C-alpha cells in the first residue's frame, strides 16, 4: 500500500530530523518506507500493512501541519488517538482575513489555543490554511466544535463556557460509569 502527501518545504527538515532520526523512527515503528522529494515537498509512504501505512501517514501529516515529532509520535503510542484537520481556505477571501481567522483561534499571546488544548486534552497546530488537532475522538470532536464556533464569530467566553460544560459532562459520565 502507498500514500502520498504534500508538505511545506520548511517542514521537510523536521520530518527528516537530525541525521535522519525522525524519518528512521517513523519507518521502524510502522514497518514502512518514506520517500521524500524535498524539492517538490512530496512524501510517499509505502508498506505491506495498510494500518501501519495509515499510521505513518498520519504522523507525516501531523509533522507537516506543524506538530513537533514528539506530539506526532503520540499517534503511534496510543492507537486511540486521531489526527484531524480543519481547512480554513474557504473562509477567507484575502490573506488578511485568513490572518484574522487564525488569530481568533490562536488568541492574544496564544491564550485561546492553550485554553482549548487544556480544556479538551488535545494538541493544536495552526499553520497556513489549516488547524490540526491530535487527541482522542471525543476530545477532537469538542475541540473541533469550539474552533468552528470561533470561526463563526462566537465570543471566546461563550466558547470556553461550552468547553467547560462539555468537560463537566465527561466527568459526570465517567463517575456514573464507575458507580
C-alpha grid cell, residue 12: 521537510
- Are residues 41 and 115 both part of a single domain? no
Pair (90, 172) in one structural domain: yes
Q: What is the mean pLDDT of residues 139-160?
A: 96
Mean pLDDT over 151-157 rounds to: 95
> Are residues 100 and 56 part of one domain?
no
pLDDT in tens, 155-169: 999 999 999 999 888
Q: What domain range is 33 assigned to?
A: 2-77
Residues 113 and 60 in one domain: no
The number of beta carbons lying within 10 Å of the beta carbon of residue 167 is 16
pLDDT of residue 72: 97
| pLDDT number for residue 177 | 67
- What is the pLDDT at residue 38? 87
**120 and 70 belong to one structural domain:** no
- Split into its structural domains, the chain has a count of 2
Helix (H) or strand (E) holding 71: helix 69-77
- The CATH number of the domain holding residue 157 is 3.30.1370.10
Domain check: are 35 and 98 in the same one?
A: no
Confirm if 25 and 19 have CB atoms less than 8 A apart.
no
Residue 75 burial (10 A CB sphere; 0-12, 13-18, 19+): buried
Residue 130 and residue 161: Cα distance in Å, rounded? 24
What mean pLDDT do residues 66-89 have?
95
pLDDT exceeds 70 at position 178: no
What is the Cα–Cα distance from 46 to 56, expressed in whole angstroms? 9
For range 17-31, the mean pLDDT = 96
pTM above 0.85, yes or no: yes
Amino acid at each position: 500500500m502507498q500514500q502520498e502527501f504534500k508538505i511545506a518545504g520548511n517542514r521537510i527538515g523536521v520530518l527528516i530530523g537530525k541525521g535522519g532520526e525522525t524519518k528512521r523512527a517513523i519507518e521502524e515503528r510502522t514497518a514502512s518506507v518514506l520517500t521524500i522529494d524535498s524539492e517538490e515537498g512530496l512524501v510517499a509512504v509505502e508498506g505491506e500493512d495498510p494500518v501501519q501505512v495509515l499510521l505513518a501517514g498520519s504522523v507525516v501529516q501531523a509533522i507537516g501541519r506543524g506538530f513537533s515529532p514528539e506530539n506526532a509520535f503520540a499517534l503511534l503510542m496510543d492507537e486511540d488517538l486521531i489526527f484531524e484537520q480543519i481547512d480554513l481556505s474557504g473562509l477567507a477571501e484575502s490573506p488578511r482575513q485568513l490572518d484574522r481567522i487564525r488569530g481568533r483561534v490562536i488568541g492574544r499571546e496564544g491564550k485561546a489555543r492553550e485554553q482549548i488544548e487544556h480544556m479538551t486534552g488535545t494538541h493544536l497546530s495552526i499553520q497556513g490554511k489549516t488547524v490540526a488537532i491530535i487527541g482522542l475522538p471525543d476530545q477532537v470532536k469538542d475541540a473541533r466544535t469550539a474552533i468552528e464556533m470561533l470561526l463563526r464569530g462566537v465570543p471566546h467566553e461563550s466558547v470556553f463556557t461550552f468547553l467547560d460544560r462539555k468537560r463537566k459532562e465527561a466527568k459526570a459520565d465517567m463517575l456514573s460509569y464507575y458507580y
